Structure 1
Amino acid sequence: MLVAACEKKSIQIFDPLTHQKIQSVNDAHSDCVNCVKFLDARMFATCSDDTTIALWDVRNLKKKIRTLLGHSKWVKNIEFSVKDKLLVTSGLDGSIYTWDINSYTEYNLVYQKVFHTSSLMRCRLSPDARQMVMCTTGGLLIIIHDLNLSTLAQDLHGFKPNLYRLMQMSQQMIPIAAMYDHLFDSSRKENRVEFVADFPEDNDAEVVSALQIHPQGWSALSRNISHDDRSEWTCIHDIQPLESERGVARDSCRAPPRCAPSPAPAHAPASPPRRAPPRRLPARARLRPLARTHSRSQLLDGISPASRSRAESEPEPEPGPSSAASSVPAEEQLAAPAPAPAAPPAARLVASMSSIQNDVWEASITVKQNRMLQEFYSSSMLAPSTSGHTSRDITTEDGPAPRRYADRFIRQNKERLLYYIEETNEGKGFIKELCYSADGRLVCSPFGRGMRLLALNEDCSELPHCVQDLNRPRLMVDVGQSLGIHQDLVVSSRFSPRYHMLVTGCLEGKILWYQPYSGEALY
């Protein structure tokens, strides 16, 4: 079964083998439908810009099983943890909720907000639900290793990724951010946090708009937009726990880890980040799709159609809705930013601060307080540590040395980038959802009015066979390109998890099926 999420508030159900429409559910939601996720062979969930999630049974589509209320803004993504039997949803309100679909109450399911961060775009789970990966409008991937959804809210309570990232880029200790340093500790057994922010040299990633996880959980596939809105890139990052973090030998099929610099003391000079800090796109249309019309719809093979960003009416520009296609159980992802001229260090910091303006005021206050404390304790030759304990005086030939926050470190992110490629920037303002094939060997990337197939090498080898001697990120290989097939911009794609079949959807509302031997697209 193929379920398409449409901009015109409906969902369409197709037989993927005959390409015939089985049923149409009009007014499935009161606004654009963004994502479809199958929970098992008969039940699936949809989410919408109307801030709700709906549960459906394919045997009776005349009525929803249940409508879930909790999000305050557009809901963009749905995941399902088979391990925990929990539905995981995320939206442009920056919140991630879990829903216990087996615990009905009179009005709703039992649900919990497990995390919140401003600028959230997508949230994905690995197939075994051992990892959660998030992407943001600040050019950042956030990985939660050894995921425990039942304790996530408690473990990450008060943690602000944007604030910690600001501390990393500024190399200025911010006590309110440094107090969450323990979340990055490799000794943590559950809910360990890792930041991924390395992108190609010419790619100043601003908005990481699309995200998918490898079918084996080996890597994250993403697509990003440069800060000047002039280019888009697709990237593949390694997301597996490193050997040193696990304390055990790596699996033979695991990609080799990246060498990462050790944490630098807060008072020590640190090497500059690999790429320029991202800058906020202008408010004119930062992921703002074309004006919505009733004649324009987006069918998505199970993931979101293009919803329209109402950024102009918001006090802070919101990234626009995305469109994507997702067939019953397949998972996919890919993304990358476009090259942009590097800004001077001072401008980079200012720009990065503007992209996380929700936390800037708080950060500026804490930076000022930190400097005042350092000056005070320097004069008294005694400085407190962030843990609340004073550090001992260090005596030198010139006398006692000034004290600093010596027991805290500003964590340095590991280099995780494996593969990348630049994309066409046609259709600015729309999110293009990429996908992995069922075996993870191919990536389908929307490319203008068509799509192209990408692989790690010309033999379409699996990831473990391609990264044995990889000392630096490499370009992906274009193994198949199909241009001009659709009459409008392609915004979603999905491989069938069972058959040799690929589906793409465009803004015009058309779905195309591709089969490997015919060499032609089938309507």
Structure 2
Amino acid sequence: MGNINKDNLLYMAKYSAFNPYRMREREMGYTTSIGSSDALAKSLYCGMKAIATWDSDREKAPPTGGIFNLEFSPEGTLLVAACEKKSIQIFDPLTHERIHAVNGAHTDCVNCVKFLDARMFATCSDDTTIALWDVRNLKKKIRTLLGHSKWVKNIEFSVKDKLLVTSGLDGSIYTWDINSYTEYNLVYQRVFHTSSLMRCRLSPDARQMVLCTTGGLIVIIHDLNLATLAQDLHGFKPNLYRLMQMSHQMIPVAAMYDHLFDSKNRENRVEFVSDFPEGNDAEVVSALQVHPQGWSALSRNISHDDKSEWTCIHDIQPMESPCDKDTRDTSPVGRGRRTPSRRTRPRVYRVPRPMHPNPMATTHIQITRESERAAAGPSTSHQGGAPISPPQPSRLGLPGIQNDVWEAAITIKQHRLLQEMYNRGADVPSTSGYTPHQESPYTSDEEPAAKHFIRQNKNRLLYYIEETNEGKGFIKELCYSSDGRIVCSPFGRGMRLLALNSDCGELSGVAQDLSQPRLMVELGQSLGIHTDLVVSSKFSPRYHMLVTGCLEGKIVWYQPFSGESL
């Protein structure tokens, strides 16, 4: 075993990026062996060190507040920071200098930045609006998009449909046609709505949409067609369907959407992901990213007891199942129930606990006004007219998910009462004239619901790791490297670099050996450079470069470096 480890270390050193002979062998045309790319990547990522910092105090500029999001342009030539105090900051990634600032970009904190191409990008804010910008002229916005009624937290761009996709804490997902607009607004459509929505992401080819919620659920929509999504998923409530799965009780209003999960669906097929590591009773899935190749989803969640945070990687690639019954619970209602795998205790459905707003922490996920269900939200589609003003939040402040639970609880209660009456042989009023005293196709120990199947979720968890629980309530935006080998995860006042194995292998090369979920491997960490909680991180799409931002407004650049760190 010692010889194997020694040989592996020698191999890694031979193909390291810092080996002076590597370039000479490449220039002479020597072929590289299998695994050399892993050795090269490991040497680069393990050599990541902080090389530069920026903060507003150094330039005597107006304070930026927390750096909530960082985004590179597609070519990696620009870096844009979304800031708590209503501004966006633009940097040259190579010189680490700020080249422009837009103060007052929004009327509330800026949450997210998304480049649509090399010159145009979009920002979203807690002021419920989305703004379009051109890097060639930042003196004014190209356009302001109105439609959301609560904080807007996410922007995606569908390269397939040329549509902007936004999601907010009003539970709505909108698509915007940026090439067709009216006098007042762009042509837009609400394609989906669900209570407790946190994040919405698209795969790089826009063939999949991944959602996460405050109910510990990840939803995948396969073979995405944004043009028909609103029609296909009309009336579908993920929370209600998930409640039916966990309670093992048929809920007719949820079961009527069972066809959405059918593997025969060619478009907008729905899949639930609900398996998490042992000891992680996930409640709020607050951060979400998709692998650069669309292979997996990276998420960060907070456990139900608020005592732990976890980073998880789930497989999101379509799976072919030979029979739908493989994914269904065939046991009759009320009999032996299966508990979810890898859980120490059966999970029960929870209504989110009452929360109190914190005016000092604008990205705090313990929100009340964001998680309240939008009363009479915007219309499904809109092509013009006056700007829509957001409706006022409910005075009671009850989360929208509570309505789903109440509706399901009434259904389950009625169903159980009906079963008890059948078991006792009592007369059951019926408009058709049928009573249990008449001949029934069920035997005495059978139940009427035995013929129903409740579809269960596949196990999708691949990798996981427990995180520090500092800064409770703040969203920590983690990210994939451009090659998908590495995950950068905010870790207190610093960050950690996580890999799938110690050799820094790709998912396609290591997933074949997985028989059960594995712990992620820590390649390195950087602590103490930031003076406050790190809440954002981003890898450059072009260079081996990483940037992180904290709540104090400090940005740190990391690159492979063989000398002394900061």
CA distance in 2, matches of 1:282, 1:106: 43
Correspondence for 1:409? 453
Report the structure number with the largest CA radius of gyration: 2
Alignment of 1:107-506 (within 5 A): 107-244=184-321, 261-265=327-331, 267=333, 269-274=336-341, 275=343, 276-277=347-348, 279=350, 282-284=353-355, 291-292=360-361, 307-308=363-364, 311=367, 356-374=401-419, 404-506=448-550
- The one-character-per-residue Cα deviations of 1:374-397 (angstroms, maximum 9, x if unpaired) are 56777599999xxxxxxx98758x
CA distance in 1, matches of 2:508, 2:196: 33
CA distance in 2, matches of 1:315, 1:149: 25
Contact 2:365 2:475 in 1 (8 A): no
State the SS of the aligned residue for 1:466: helix
Residue of structure 2 aligned with 1:46, choices 98, 106, 123: 123
- Between the two proteins, what is the percent identity of the paired residues? 75
Correspondence for 1:3? 80
Contact 2:166 2:174 in 1 (8 A): yes
CA distance in 1, matches of 2:400, 2:183: 41
TM-score relative to the length of structure 2: 0.75
Do residues 65 (structure 1) and 134 (structure 2) align?
no
CA distance in 2, matches of 1:262, 1:282: 31
- The one-character-per-residue Cα deviations of 1:445-475 (angstroms, maximum 9, x if unpaired) are 0011110100000111000111212111000
Counterpart of 2:528, as a letter, is: G
Contact 1:218 1:239 in 2 (8 A): yes
State the SS of the aligned residue for 2:317: coil
- TM superposition shift of 1:244: 2.5
Do residues 94 (structure 1) and 171 (structure 2) align?
yes
Instruction: Say if 1:242 and 1:282 are closer, same or farther in 2 by CA, change over 3 A.
Output: same
CA distance in 2, matches of 1:198, 1:519: 43
- TM superposition shift of 1:504: 0.2
- TM superposition shift of 1:407: 4.7
Counterpart of 2:367, as a letter, is: A
Q: CA RMSD in A?
A: 2.9
Contact 1:381 1:402 in 2 (8 A): no
Contact 2:373 2:400 in 1 (8 A): no
Unaligned runs of 5+ in 2: 1-77, 375-397, 431-437
CA distance in 2, matches of 1:446, 1:514: 14
TM-score relative to the length of structure 1: 0.80
Do residues 513 (structure 1) and 553 (structure 2) align?
no
CA distance in 2, matches of 1:202, 1:355: 28
State the SS of the aligned residue for 1:368: helix
Contact 1:514 1:520 in 2 (8 A): no
Contact 2:498 2:523 in 1 (8 A): yes
Counterpart of 2:340, as a letter, is: P
Correspondence for 2:161? 84
Counterpart of 1:307, as a letter, is: T
CA distance in 1, matches of 2:565, 2:116: 29
- TM superposition shift of 1:264: 2.5
Instruction: Say if 1:182 and 1:418 are closer, same or farther in 2 by CA, change over 3 A.
Output: same
Counterpart of 2:493, as a letter, is: R
